[in-house]
Amino acid sequence: MRIALGVEYHGSNFNGWQAQPGQRTVQDSLTQAVSFVANHQIEVHAAGRTDTGVHALNQVVHFDTEAQRSDRGWLLGINTNLPEDISINWVKPVDESFHARFSATQRSYRYLILNRLSRSAVHYQRMWWTHKAIEIEHMQAAADLLTGHHDFSAFRAVECQAKSAMKTVDTITVSRHQDCIAIDVSARSFLHHMVRNLVGVLVPIGEGKKPVQWAAEVLESCDRNQAGITAPAEGLYLTDVQYPQHFQLPGVSGFPVLW
């Protein structure tokens, strides 16, 4: 039997998703909890790896098991054995053609920025704080230059292992709710640090330090050294993963932090 799970986690106290010896990771914590409930060793496969400090609202994973449990049994049993900064939101049996990573058709991320003079205690490790005034209209104009099918070499981390930097970004939407700015990015797949590096280019444009056209110049350069900083991990959330409709996976609720 193959089981899919919707996983939510606060990434600040994890050394990323992928299991690493001697490190606290989401994959290790989840593997231990699922294996305990299944009563045999389980291997979990995720829709994508998230870095240290990055959060998830609907990371999708799957595992294979011969154990017979109800959906409710899996949900309650796994959550009972997980730390408080990870939670399973849904459980769905799927057929063997489903793969959390390779069946995904789109991944969506949201980057959150707190834009005000004072820092936040409540949103500590949940948003990137910057006190400089930001014009989101300039950011959106720059974002529009980055959507579509391009060579995103200027937006990939040095340690990125992807064979090609050619990616198709479906949408980048910049919105503001009072002092909070959200940058929503959707694509089938991403390069290592790609979303955080996109944010690192858009923010200086919003602050007026760089012109809108700079985004296109960075893209065309294919040179990481020509781009901005890598935005901090704590502002980034994996919000959703989309799959073909016939798998009938549960959806996710509205974004719980802001709007």
- Residue 246 located in a structural domain: no
Reported as a single tens digit per residue, the pLDDT across 183-211 is 999 999 999 999 999 999 999 999 999 99
Domain endpoint, select from 73, 103, 133: 103
pTM over 0.85: yes
pLDDT at 155: 97
- pLDDT at residue 254 tops 70: no
Same domain, residue pair 127 and 207: yes
Q: Please tell me whether residue 115 adopts helix, strand or coil conformation.
A: strand
**In whole numbers, what is the pLDDT of the chain averaged over residues?**
94
Same domain, yes or no: 231 and 117: yes
The answer to whether position 255 is within a domain reads no
Q: Looking at the structure, do residues 14 and 79 belong to the same domain, yes or no?
A: yes
* 244 belongs to a structural domain: no
The number of distinct structural domains making up the chain is: 2
CATH number for the domain including 227? 3.30.70.660
18 with 83, same domain? Answer: yes
Q: Is residue 172 part of a domain?
A: yes
Q: Residue 159: its pLDDT value, please?
A: 86
Please check whether residues 98 and 110 belong to one and the same domain: no
What tens digit of pLDDT does each residue of 74-131 get? 999 999 999 999 999 999 999 999 999 999 999 999 999 999 999 999 989 999 999 9
List 166's β-bridge partners, or say none. 151
pLDDT band at 251 (very low <50, low <70, confident <90, very high): confident
With cut-offs at 50, 70 and 90, classify the pLDDT of residue 56: very high
Q: What is the pLDDT of residues 126-177, one digit of tens each?
A: 999 999 999 999 999 999 999 999 999 999 998 888 899 999 999 999 999 9
Q: Are residues 116 and 51 in the same domain?
A: no
Is the pLDDT at 60 greater than 90, yes or no? yes
Alpha-helical (H) ranges within the chain are 26-38, 71-80, 136-146, 194-206, 214-221
- pLDDT grade for 43, boundaries at 50, 70 and 90: very high
What does the pLDDT read at residue 259?
46
Are the C-beta atoms of residues 59 and 9 closer than 8 Å to each other? Answer: yes
Question: Do 125 and 229 reside in the same domain of the chain?
Answer: yes
60 and 13 in a common domain: yes
- Per the DSSP assignment, residues forming a β-bridge with 111 are 183, 236
Residue with the bigger pLDDT between 225 and 253: it is 225
The enclosing domain of 25 has a CATH number of 3.30.70.580
For residues 7 and 237, give the distance between their C-alpha atoms in angstroms, rounded to a whole number.
12
* Residue 243 known to bind ligand: no
Positions marked catalytic: 51
**CA-to-CA distance for 121 and 183, rounded, in angstroms?**
21
Regarding whether 137 and 61 lie in a shared domain, the answer is no
Is residue 8 situated within a structural domain? yes
Helix 194-206, helix 214-221: angle, nearest 10: 150
Kindly state whether residues 220 and 208 are assigned to the same domain: yes
Residue 258 pLDDT > 80: no
- Do residues 77 and 111 share a domain? no
Query: Domain residues for 121?
Result: 106-238
Residue 83 lies in a domain: yes
Query: What is the mean pLDDT of the segment spanning 238-250?
Result: 95
